[in-house]
Amino acid sequence: MNIVVVGSQWGDEGKGKLIDILSEHSDITVRYQGGNNAGHTVVVGDQEYVFHLLPSAILHKGKVCVIGNGVVVDPKALLKEIDDLARRGIKVGAQRLKISGHAHVVMPYHRILDGLRESKRKNKIGTTGRGIGPCYADKVSRCGIRIIDLLNPRVLKSKLDDNLREKNEIFQKVFNTRGFSFRGIYEEYLGYGKKLSPYVCDAALYLNDALDHKKSVLFEGAQGTFLDIDFGTYPFVTSSNSIVGGLCTGSGVAPTRIDKTIACVKAYTTRVGEGPFPTEFASSLKNEIRTKGNEFGATTGRPRRCGWFDSVLVRYSVIINNVHELAIMKLDVLGDLDKIRICTGYKYKGKICKDFPMDFEVLSNVQPIYEELDGWKTDISGARTYAQLPVNARKYIERLEKLLKVGVKYISIGTKRSEIIIR
């Protein structure tokens, strides 16, 4: 079976754990968008692994991981991940990792531009500063450098020369700062190309051939639906399509070859950076949940904003991603609360909104309508079946199912691989 896992909130939903579990039963795992601005955390025994570019399936022996054309790749960051795993006894060879030659490369000037543009904005976006947005901008502007270009000295020289002339002029005339020298970057990135060359292939051909031979493929999205460049809370979004549609353009696999979409959601809501957040907690509860849920970004370390579950938000994600099953993550974090709220609608200027609003101003000023349920006030990390969960925990899950109109298949009740219930 070919499955895609998408985040259905603002990212950080716990996709890494779910993908780690599902990838054990898939032949190939594909990352199809984003860059090293995303982070997946996987806990195996007493070992914690954080991935920014590599699919977390790399932890499973014999599984193939693919970085698709929709990903923007910082080669320095990728090689560091590979080296870090090698030091921990996990070898990443060319048989286990495939990188699309069509994937675009994050260059040093992208990272600098990212920071400079953010510093000039009156309303901050909350970028990670990893150069992801400027890299995607160059891709769309048809001046980007691709992974395959790193293997061709002549092509790299020509593209880099053109880019640096333009970028250095921007640095000097717009931002009043120094630009980059050609030689240092050229030699550095040629070196990256030599190290990455064994992994480079036409990933679209590789994946479709694998599907023709009945291999099972798992597609992992980064970020979440509401960080999608088209459907997210624009402009506080990422620079790629993080919804299920992004897997087709980001991998070269047609939608008819996908069997199932699983939406990953937290039992509450979080987001990093700026932007509207109707159900955000008051400070005291925010700090309590942030501490218990370890709500700090895997990529930046930034504290995440926390709030109640927003069913209006997630229902919209269920619709546009055609979700077949839900995975509820971090249910255990709510275990100390007397009462738990679910947002079931919004109120704006005296009118009830049941659908997620397109208008940024409306979303920024809505008042959430809450439904309150009793908490379960107990540690649930030892449960291994749905029946072993407290009655109130099951009532919470079943209310979410009714509101979202889709069933919950997976329930995470802790950080470890074993701490998950499969219904």
Residues taking part in catalysis:
12, 40
Please name which of 274, 263, 266 lies closest in space to residue 237, comparing C-alpha atoms: 274
Distance of CA 384 to the CA centre of its chain: 27
Is 296 strand, coil or helix? strand
Rounded to 5°, angle at Cα 29 from 25 and 33: 145
**Across-strand partners of 372?**
341
DSSP state of 366: -
Residues 418, 412: Cα–Cα separation, whole Å: 9
Residues 342, 143: Cα–Cα separation, whole Å: 46
Contact 43, 299 (CB under 8 A): no
User: Residue 48, Cβ neighbours under 10 Å: how many?
Assistant: 11
Q: Which residue in the block uniquely carries the two structure tokens 């593209």? A: 159
Per-residue H/E/C for 337-353: CCEEEEEEEEEECCEEE
Structure tokens that stand for 64 in this block: 């193939």
What residue type is assigned to position 223 of the chain?
Q
Please name which of 156, 153, 58 lies closest in space to residue 105, comparing C-alpha atoms: 156
Residues 183, 162: Cα–Cα separation, whole Å: 13
